[in-house]
Amino acid sequence: MNNFINQLYEDLSSKSFDFFNAKPFPYIILDNFLNDDFYELVLQEVEHQKTLPMGRTFSSSLEKEKSISLNTRLPQTLKDLVGYLNTDYWVKNLSNLSKIRNLVGTKNGNTELANYHEMRHSGFLGSHVDHASEPLLGLPHVLNIVLYLSSDWLPEYGGETIFFDRKGKQELARVSYKPNRAVIFLHTPYSFHGVSEISDSAPVPRRTLYVDYYSQTFNPYKDMKLPFPNKWFDHPTTFVFKNKLRYFLPKNWLYLKLLAKYKINNLISLFKTY
C-alpha cells in the first residue's frame, strides 16, 4: 500500500464507464485524492512557506498571473508524489481507467515540463489545448492529472477548470476548485480547457500539481468512440480567442503562429494513416 494516494483510488478500472461518459471529453473527478496525513505534509511544505522557486511567469492576453515551477527545486514531498505518479504501478492503474494500453509516465525526470503551477489574483488561463508530444521522445500526450492543493478555498474565489467544445470556443463543463481534488482527463488534440478568473478575495494563490502521460503508439485513440476525430496529430500548446481579430494584434502574433501550426497539422492528419 502506498503512503500517498487514498486507497479508494488504488483500482480505477471500476470508474472507466464514468470516465468515458463524461462530456465534452472523458474525465473524472476524484475527491480526497491524497491520504490526509500526506496532504497535510504537502500543505506544510507548499502553503506554509512564502514562496517556492518558480521557473517562469506568464502575463498575457490569455495567460495571466500564472507561474510554473523549476521541477529540480520542488519540495521533497512534491518530488516524491510526482515520482509515485510516474511509477509503473500507478501508470497501469491509469491505463485500466483510460483503456490506453501503451501508456507511459515521464521517465526523464520531467525537467522540460513543469509539474507545479500557481495562479494569483485576477489570474486566468484562456481556452487552450496542451502540447501534443513528449519534448524529448515525441510520444503522443494522451492523459493529464491536475491536483488542487490550496486549502481554505471557497467557490467564490473562482479558479474552476473549464472544459470547452472541440474548437475551444464554447464552454461545456466546469470543475470547481476544491482542496485535495484531482481531475484526470483524456488529452487529445481537441481537449480544450482553461481556468476561470481568480477573485482578488482569494487568500492564497491557486496551487496545482500537474502530471501528464504519453502513449508509445501514434494511434492511441483508435478504438475509442469520441465526439470528435480520434486521430492524434502533433501540435504546440494552442490557445483560442473567441474574437479572431485579436490574433492580429502585434502582442498576440505568437498565438497566431501557434494556431497556424495547429490548423496545418490538423489538416494533414485527415489524410494520414498510421
**Residue 223 domain flag:** yes
Domain assignment of residue 201, yes or no: yes
- Residue 109, pLDDT > 80, answer no
Q: Is 274 within a domain? A: no
Tell me, what's the pLDDT at 46? 86
Q: Which residues make beta-bridge pairs with 210? A: 146
2 within some domain: no
Q: What share of the chain in percent tops pLDDT 70? A: 94
Q: Residue 64 domain-assigned? A: yes
Q: Are 199 and 157 in contact (CB under 8 A)?
A: yes
**What single-letter DSSP state applies at residue 139?**
P
The CA distance from 55 to 231, in Å, is 33
Q: What's the pLDDT at 69?
A: 85
| Span 237-258, pLDDT tens digits | 999 999 999 999 999 999 999 9
How far apart (Å, rounded) are the C-alpha atoms in residues 99 and 129? Answer: 21
Per residue in 70-104, pLDDT (tens digit) is 777 788 899 899 999 999 999 999 999 999 989 99
Among 47, 45, 48, CA closest to 74: 45
Among 266, 265, 241, which Cα is nearest to 253's? 241
The separation between the first and the last C-alpha atoms of the chain, rounded to the nearest angstrom, is: 39
Q: What are phi and psi of 153, to 5 degrees?
A: -100, 130
Q: Which of 1-5, 57-61, 104-108, 181-185 has maximum average pLDDT?
A: 181-185
Nearest C-alpha neighbor of 94 from the set 60, 140, 142, 45: 142
Residue with cell 504501478: 89
Let me know if residue 260 belongs to a domain. Answer: yes
Specify the number of domains making up the chain: 1
Q: Sign of the C-alpha dihedral, residues 27, 31, 34, 35?
A: negative
Q: How confident is the model at residue 120 (pLDDT cuts 50, 70, 90)?
A: very high
Judge whether 259 and 192 are in contact, CB under 8 Å.
Answer: no
Beta bridge partners of 266: none
Q: Return the pLDDT at 72.
A: 73
pTM here is 0.94
CATH number of the domain residue 35 falls in: 2.60.120.620
Domain span including residue 248: 7-269
Tell me, letter by letter, the H, E, C secondary structure of 184-248: EEECCCCCCEEECCECCCCCCCEEEEEEEEEECCCCCCCCCCCCCCCCCCCCCCEECCCCHHHHH
Is residue 1 included in any domain, yes or no? no
Q: Retrieve residue 89's grid coordinates.
A: 504501478
CA–CA gap between residue 224 and residue 204 (Å, rounded): 40
Q: Is 239 part of any domain?
A: yes
Question: What does the pLDDT read at residue 30?
Answer: 98
Average pLDDT value for residue range 197-207: 94
CB 249 within 8 Å of CB 203: no
**Residue 60: how many other CB atoms lie within 10 Å:** 13
Cell of 3: 503512503
Q: Which of 52-56, 124-128, 216-220, 256-260 has the lowest mean pLDDT?
A: 52-56
- pLDDT exceeds 90 at position 189: yes
